[in-house]
Amino acid sequence: MQYFVTRILGVVPVLVFTWTLVFVVLQVIPGDPVNLMLAGVPASEEVRQRERERLGLDRPVAERYVGFLVRAVQGDLGESFRSRRPVGEMIAEQMWPTIELAVGGLLVGLLLGIVLGILAGIRPNSIDSVCMALALVGVSLPSFWIGMLLIYVFGTVLMVVPITGRGLWALILPSITVGLFIAGGFARLVRASIIEAMGQDYIRTARAKGLPPVKVVLKHALRNAMIPPVTLLGIQFALLIGGAVVTENVFARPGLGTMLVDAVLTKDMPLVQALVVYKTAAYVFINVMIDIVYAIIDPRVRLERS
């Protein structure tokens, strides 16, 4: 329990620093939010000034910064400059499409990465080159190119799955696009960890007992080799729930990544700040989950430590 308390307290300065950084960056980005909102709309300077007062942009920067931190702690993420809707409501609308894509991509990457990594790790001098070549292709090819290729082959030529929209079938191609990139890095880590684990004494003992090779690999080697891959998997998931901008745009999917880009371009400060609050909180939660998974995978990892 002391370990988790220490971790949670250590997260506070990280959150404050991140929120402060995004606030400062938004202040120095060129462009007036009011002018961007009223672009193409005839409005006098008096009208624009009243709009700045309504949005609180006429207040000192320090006052706005303190107000932002206080509201963030209270869970009040403010109102969008453009749509004039609560940003929490807007994020909630776009969150589930992003989570669907993140989970789908993670499942594809996990499955392919484990299979390729195990095959390469247990046969380092035979099938290893083929598996690692496939992993390298997944990491190297741009996501937009993979997405467009999948759209052309499976959506246009074969017409077996939809290329846009929501639903399980429409999620297949975006998940593969995201998953191929994840699988590449994951497979290389699994391979290295398997090769290291297969040389340990407990593996030789398991083999001496006459255990089947499949059981030796899956029950003993893989479980003890999963600590580094789990770390990568957690980082990738944290990145994905922040929004996969390229994949969302290629497949015309809604999501937090596209929302964040639009908010930055229009300098919708409350929405950008709210998205940063969401993403940093998600990173913290996922890191804690990774620590718990560590303890489940490897008994040597202790939750109760100072």
155 part of a folded domain: yes
What does the longest C-alpha to C-alpha distance in the chain come to?
86
> Is the per-residue pLDDT at 294 higher than 80?
no
263 part of a folded domain: yes
Q: What's the pLDDT score for residue 41?
A: 67
Interior CA angle at 132 toward 128 and 136, to 5°?
A: 170
54 part of a folded domain: no
61 part of a folded domain: no
99 part of a folded domain: yes
Give residue-wise pLDDT tens across range 250-290.
Answer: 888 888 888 888 887 777 878 887 887 777 777 777 777 77
Sign of CA pseudo-dihedral 207, 211, 214, 215: negative
What type of residue sits at position 89?
E
Backbone angles phi, psi at 32, to 5 degrees: -95, 120
79 part of a folded domain: no
CATH code (residue 250): 1.10.3720.10
Average pLDDT (217-226) is: 72
66 part of a folded domain: no
Q: What's the pLDDT score for residue 96?
A: 87
Higher-confidence residue: 40 or 282? 282
Q: Which domain holds residue 238?
A: 88-297
Higher-confidence residue: 171 or 302? 171
Average pLDDT (23-43) is: 72
> Is the per-residue pLDDT at 306 higher than 50?
no
31 part of a folded domain: no
Residues 6+ apart with CB under 8 A from 184: 113, 135, 136, 137, 138, 139, 140
Give residue-wise pLDDT tens across range 90-145.
Answer: 888 888 888 888 889 889 988 888 888 888 877 776 777 787 788 788 778 888 88
Higher-confidence residue: 197 or 177? 177
C-alpha distances in Å from residue 75, one per residue of 12, 88, 279: 15, 9, 14
Give residue-wise pLDDT tens across range 261-272.
Answer: 888 777 787 888
Higher-confidence residue: 177 or 33? 177
> Is the per-residue pLDDT at 205 higher than 50?
yes
Task: Work out the number of other CB atoms within 10 angstroms of the CB of residue 4.
Answer: 13
Average pLDDT (55-73) is: 80
Looking at the 3D structure of the chain, how many domains does it have?
A: 1
How far is residue 77 CA from its own chain's centroid? 21
Say if residue 125 is exposed, middle or buried (CB neighbours under 10 Å; 0-12, 13-18, 19+).
exposed
